[in-house]
Amino acid sequence: MTTRISHWIDGKHWAGVPERAGEVFDPATGEVRAQVDFAGAGQVNDAVAAAARAFPQWRDTSLAARSRILFAFRELLTARQGELAKIITSEHGKVESDAAGEVARAIENVEYACGAPQLLKGGFSENASRGVDVYSIAQPLGVVGVISPFNFPAMVPLWFVPNAIACGNTVVLKPSEKDPSASVFIAELFAEAGLPDGVLNVLHGDKVAVDGLLTHPVVKAISFVGSTPIARYVYETGTRNGKRVQALGGAKNHMVVLPDADLGLAADAAVSAGFGSAGERCMAVSVVVAVEPVADELIAQISGRMSRLTVGDGRDPTSEMGPLVTAAHRTKVQSYVDAGVTEGARLVVDGRDLAVDGGGFWLGPTLFDHVTPEMSIYRDEIFGPVLSVVRADSYDAALELVNANAYGNGTAIFTNDGRAARRFQNEVEVGMVGLNVPIPVPVGYYSFGGWKDSLFGDSHAYGPEGFHFFTRTKVVTSRWPDPAQGGVSLGFPRNS
């Protein structure tokens, strides 16, 4: 019998009969492992109503009590991180060590949110004028929606949920329908940690559920992560409906290698950042910009390492790269490899021939050389294990290439020249920059976000900008009339 994955509304599994459902696959075998309920308008209303009912009490819950629940959740998540990693691998396909890394990064965000009592302190100015004090309060928004992508089914929900609830909001989370179980596991752990019913709800589904949240009058804000076309749509639709929106989109991350770089280090980085999680990471390196004369040597070192990569079922501890998430996605990625060949790039390593036992969604690591900016493999986000090398004549040409790209999520430069690195961090038009670090995902106490087509809105995710996004400030100007002074505060005339 196939497992059923249902919504989590008001602290319990939804027991209704779904109008629509989707299939969840095990990407390593290609088999259907579960059916997931798809929300219609009724379930969207039920989830939002549960969150709205929970809000008044949750916003008035003391900072100490909120923080204690987050600490308890952190302990439970740490104790059961192995279990969550296995759930991620079974529906996403990434290898278990990578899934464990995802959970570890998620825990960082929970730990940050545990600091809510400190982080929500406002400002206070005594005697802004004589007898007048001015102070600020950060208040929650109300019901907020979180819509997440398939590629980090635990980490991305946990970029937002802990911070949103720490700030006193209640949440409706709509995870990816491709790997929905991690979100349910998270909601159950939160309940075990003492989170009151309705503060966190999980709604499964597709565009119907997303549109329901984007247009629902009670939902005050939307945090979205996904591909650029959907991020743009979510931003435009949500803001048109009066909501605060942060919508993080796709990426095409360039790694620039200067002639003085340690090429062994750069090749290691290109392979791990290009093919880790089968390239299904928004911070994956998809373009290596080799500044001549290093291209030939760098390509030789990268392809040598690729031939030693073990591709296989993520549950096998010897596997270093797993399958793609669905058959449809595999077909799309392969069509880009075909297009790269047709458009004239040199195929150095062809992943299309990879054979792995079983019926999974396999595509091997693939490397192209002599890629140019007009080619579709350069322009589009492929989101698979396909690495393109573009050759550049100089640092200036490399910088120009990175800055001309429509995306601006992450980038890295490999060099031993501190002046060149410092110039790059100043001149590059990208939100997250690595200096000899291929995947510069900020730690939980900074904020995550790209520039240009990689983010719509003005708030980055988590960290200080996360707290800013999930609160609105109120400034209070106060005066307490002093009876000894005839009822008038010193310095202020009556009725002023």
CB of 131 to ligand NAD, least distance (A): 48
CB of 245 to ligand NAD, least distance (A): 13
Q: Which is nearer to ligand NAD, 48 or 147 (CB)?
A: 147
* Binding stretches for ligand NAD (CB under 6 A): 147-152, 156, 174, 176-177, 206-207, 210, 225-227, 230, 248-251, 282, 381, 383, 409, 450, 454
Phi, psi values for residue 382, rounded to 5° = -90, -40
The radius of gyration of the chain from alpha carbons, rounded to an integer in Å, stands at 25
Q: Which is nearer to ligand NAD, 176 or 366 (CB)?
A: 176
CB of 357 to ligand NAD, least distance (A): 27
CB of 147 to ligand NAD, least distance (A): 5
Which residues, 6 or more positions from 69, have their beta carbon under 8 angstroms from its beta carbon?
190, 193, 194, 195
Task: Take residue 189 and report the two structure tokens written for it.
Answer: 């752990």
Cα–Cα distances (Å) from 298 to 93, 257, 266, 384, 395, in that order, read 29, 9, 8, 21, 16
Q: Which is nearer to ligand NAD, 34 or 258 (CB)?
A: 34
Q: Which is nearer to ligand NAD, 147 or 189 (CB)?
A: 147
Q: Which is nearer to ligand NAD, 209 or 288 (CB)?
A: 209
Q: Which is nearer to ligand NAD, 229 or 264 (CB)?
A: 229
Choosing from 282, 289, 389, 392, which is the catalytic residue?
282
Please report where in the chains the tokens 């010897």 appear, as a residue.
Answer: 318
Residue nearest to ligand NAD (CB): 226
Query: Does residue 167 carry a catalytic annotation?
Result: no
The Cα–Cα gap between 118 and 184 comes to 29
Closest residue by Cα to residue 54 from 199, 193, 191: 199
In the 8-state DSSP scheme, what is residue 483? Answer: G
Closest residue by Cα to residue 275 from 225, 322, 312: 322
List strand residue ranges (DSSP E) for 342-446, in order: 346-349, 366-369, 386-392, 407-408, 410-414, 432-435
Q: Annotated active-site positions, please?
A: 282
